[in-house]
Structure 1
């Protein structure tokens, strides 16, 4: 087996010795036709990264008070570009491309029908992306973060993003069909873990996006087309956050796929527990959806009991997160001690710190610790009152999604893209990739740290500097706005380095074979219980939780709304 970085290029003798012990192992490659489908998603994802990153850079410059946008471009126009391209387009395209590759690698090549569905979904998503982007560029959709009333966008914007969701449904169906085919062909066997994880993530996405689909079809589209005069904002926000919080876990679970299955192989170790990994994913499926109301703690119209219930359900998601942390660091310690690590932390030094396939995702893992702590603050009744609608929330978001998640995506892309293109991750590209991860960590520490502090001082989120006026508070916030601009500049430099590495791996790196790392389960882990793959049981539990958490709140919102303002009719 060839490796991403040879011992001649990077001095890691003990790690290299372990790799050499499986030198003759055959690399299992993603089917070439499936690789083309996965690569198409990567092109769009990293194009969105460059444009969305540029929009983010312009944002922090404007917020510093030292820069004005040229050519009549509006601040909220740039904010929408940044949010939609990075929050929806980059993530959705990368996730679907990665999952197609993961399913093909572990469950076998897609059938012609499954692959055709994948391509149909890709083009539906792309048409929707172009339509939505056109409205943003024409300044007809400067609505901050997608489907959030009372801000109104052109109907084409809503229709375009709806097509992105529908396209992702079609792609997810393709992956689920491949899983079902594998189960049929291998009755009684435990399915490949990566394929199972992709199915769980798709199921969560299907259920979560029902909320935003209802909002768009029955409220936002009729409203933006002028068919109804007004809509119920509380109902639209409740439907949005039914989707919006689960969206975070749609982003996160592919990173967890890499952490659980790929990283142990990269360091030469084993998957700590197949059963634990599957259970954590099922728990994420259960606890990621019926919790959206914790984003609406300050909004009237929802009874406090239901807010409290969903806050409690929100905290349950800490359990699979801690399970994941335990599993990962147990894997790291076991492997570090195999390589000769002694003492309490000697194993830590033995990890492959010069390998970008490990280092870049590991930085993301570490960022998730303070990010998760900030999430506890956001979801807590009293503490939420302090930081609600301040730039603290934006700083939290950039630690979790924009660091923990996307750095893991980048770390995966550095081996996935050459695997799909038949090229090699060279020593030079490995070093550049590591540099990009370190730059990202430094830039995010400065920018997100400044956002957190400014938020505690009351600085609002989503506001450009000019709206602060000449108040004493504005003068107090300005130094933190400048720090955000410095951090954002470093982050954009990191993006340029990442784009350079990706371009090299797509078209210029030397031909060769790069591994798609998939770890085997550690011996002695026991057989995975069949209940973990019984989606009927878990589906019933999920449906029950959603019904309990949302039926009465939504019924009360609709019945208490002024006549004609909901977009729904009650008979």
Structure 2
């Protein structure tokens, strides 16, 4: 443990733990599944755009909605969850260490998740679970689909428990020190994930599995959708917060700078915990059976997340400017021009950050009462998700992979692979701009999402939709080229790049930063406030939903059977 004294405070720089080969195999197992999922899910996405544009007809009796379900589940749930958990295990192993018992439990989480993924994927591929990634009732899947989903969730809980144990063991050995920033961030993300996934777990275990097995004759649709979106909105932040971890604590090291404020970073994550879960109703603004007052309250809570988002933007650009000016780059934007744009470890995440500006603006529209009515269930929403998770999050994950994979495999990020990565990042942003942009425009024209139709009754509007769907096919093709290139780069970094030592970049605080208040790690307080917000936002409306659901009356209860 090294101690760095400054005029204002004494900063303790936590020891970093070396990652052993056994640990590296664990982390790479998760990341490998993620990139296999990227290829499969990306191929399904390409097929969707080609079908909607009228370019191809799916062969061998394959149903469009089967392809759509594979695309949504494999990318939005499998890819993200496996990459995030692998990445977070690597961050925890590096900052607080991992014991042999913890590593074995982490392997258990991997195998539980993998078995669940295989079960779920098999049912989709067999055509017995074409229910999309939201698996809305009254669409019904084979019981093994729901059981597989439950296993993926349980496996992720095991991973979260391992992370909590890692922090607990570290704190016991360092009782008077604050936990490393990245370990704190991982803990917040997994607390949020476990609390949020209780909703979808309850829906699957209590409603969907008994219903699909024939033990229940009806299913309460509004309850199932409410439980899903109790989980579905914080799922977005489960995707985003690992990207924020890289932005706050890794990108500063890559550009040669330091963390602007440890306290501000921790506070922003605490606020994300508060305001990410009790806001699921803003996905249900058009659904009957929910009191408009509670919809409005949750919309207000949704907009509160703007605060930590703006805090993050301020912190990041403060880091960029301070670093640039320390290096002697003057002028109003000299620091911006001299950022390391030719380093793919910076370029890919930075492009993701910039894409989050229009993505966030679209999110404000989606969560607004009146404007949501214009775009709800249109291609606009699909375009929005492709800007956020498929651009902001994925480009950041790609940027992380360029240094994390060679670090774990004992290889080097070479100049040639770096150049390929820059090309891949540009291909990705161009393809996504074309595809997502045309989705947004088609949505404003009323083009429906979750639909394979490229024309509607020969109307003039259908011709406009078809033009934008052709643009989506062009963008989707460019994106698939980007996926092929990324998969090639990952294989190259894992197996064929020159052997060597690639750095694990973790930034330090500014030397004159004020000490982080101890109450930042008052977990009982933060979890307690989160639970209170959830109870406030959901208790009364959930009781109303159950009390006012007439049995057997749509849209609440539907008869059993495949719809």
TM-score for the superposition, normalised by structure 2: 0.95
Please report the RMSD computed on the Cα atoms of aligned residues, expressed in angstroms.
Answer: 1.3
Question: How far did 1:230 drift?
Answer: 1.3
Q: Distance in 1 between matches of 2:395 and 2:193?
A: 21
1:374 is paired with a residue whose SS is helix
Name 1:406's counterpart in structure 2.
Answer: 394
Residue 511 of structure 2 is aligned to residue 523 of structure 1: yes
The residue that corresponds to 1:302 in the other structure is 290
Aligned match of 1:83 in 53, 65, 72?
A: 72
Aligned counterpart, 2:164: 176
Identify which of 42, 60, 63 aligns with 2:31: 42
Residue 59 of structure 2: which of 44, 66, 70 is its match?
Answer: 70
In 1, are the aligned partners of 2:455 and 2:462 still within 8 Å (CA)?
A: no
Aligned 8 A contact 1:423 1:511 in 2: yes
Check whether the contact 1:28–1:516 (CA below 8 A) recurs between aligned residues: no
Contact 1:235 1:566 in 2 (8 A): no
Deviations along 1:47-106, whole A, 9 cap, x unmatched?
000000000000000111121111111100000110011101100000000001000111
Deviation at 1:436, TM superposition (A): 0.7
1:127 matched to 2:115? The reply is yes
Question: 2: distance between equivalents of 1:407 and 1:289?
Answer: 25
Match of residue 7 from structure 2: none
Contact 1:31 1:105 in 2 (8 A): no
Are 1:279 and 2:267 an aligned pair?
yes
Q: What does the per-residue CA deviation read over 1:96-123, in whole Å, with 9 as the maximum and x for residues that have no partner?
A: 0000100011112x11211111000000
| 2:226 aligned to which of 238, 242, 263 | 238
Q: Report the equivalent of 2:90.
A: 101
- Structure 2 Cα separation of the partners of residues 467 and 154 of structure 1: 31
Map 1:98-497; keep pairs closer than 5 Å: 98-108=87-97, 110-466=98-454, 468-497=456-485
Tell me if structure 1 keeps the 8 A contact 2:163–2:187.
yes
Cα distance in 2, alignment partners of residues 179 and 272 from structure 1: 24
Counterparts of 2:472 and 2:18 in 1: how far apart (Å)?
Answer: 42
Task: Judge conservation of contact 1:448–1:484 (CA < 8 Å) in 2.
Answer: yes
8 A Cα contact 1:558 1:566, kept in partner: no
Per-residue deviation, 1:532:
0.9
Find out whether 1:30 has 2:19 as its counterpart.
Answer: yes
- Partners in 1 of 2:523 and 2:135 — Cα distance? 30
Q: 1:146 to 1:389 in 2, by over 3 A?
A: closer
Structure 1: state its 5+ residue gaps: 1-25
Check whether the contact 1:287–1:314 (CA below 8 A) recurs between aligned residues: yes
Q: Counterpart of 1:140 in 2: which secondary structure? A: coil
CA displacement 1:472-509 (0-9 Å, x = unmatched): 22112111001000101110000011001000011001
Distance 2:196 2:309 in 1: 20
Q: Is the 8 Å Cα contact of residues 53 and 454 (structure 2) preserved in structure 1?
A: no
- Give the C-alpha shift of residue 146 in structure 1: 3.9
Q: TM-score, normalised by structure 1?
A: 0.93
* Matches of 1:98 and 1:446, distance apart in 2: 30
Query: 1:14 maps to which residue?
Result: none
Contact 1:290-1:313 within 8 A present in 2 as well: yes
Deviation at 1:566, TM superposition (A): 9.5
Maintained 8 Å contact 2:275/2:305: yes
- Displacement, 1:450? 0.2
**1:201–1:250 contact (8 Å) kept in structure 2:** yes
Distance of 1:521 and 1:32 partners within structure 2:
29
Is 1:336–1:349's contact at 8 Å kept on the other side of the alignment?
Answer: no
Distance in 2 between residues matched to 1:529 and 1:340, nearest whole Å: 33
1: CA distance between counterparts of 2:514 and 2:475?
Answer: 47
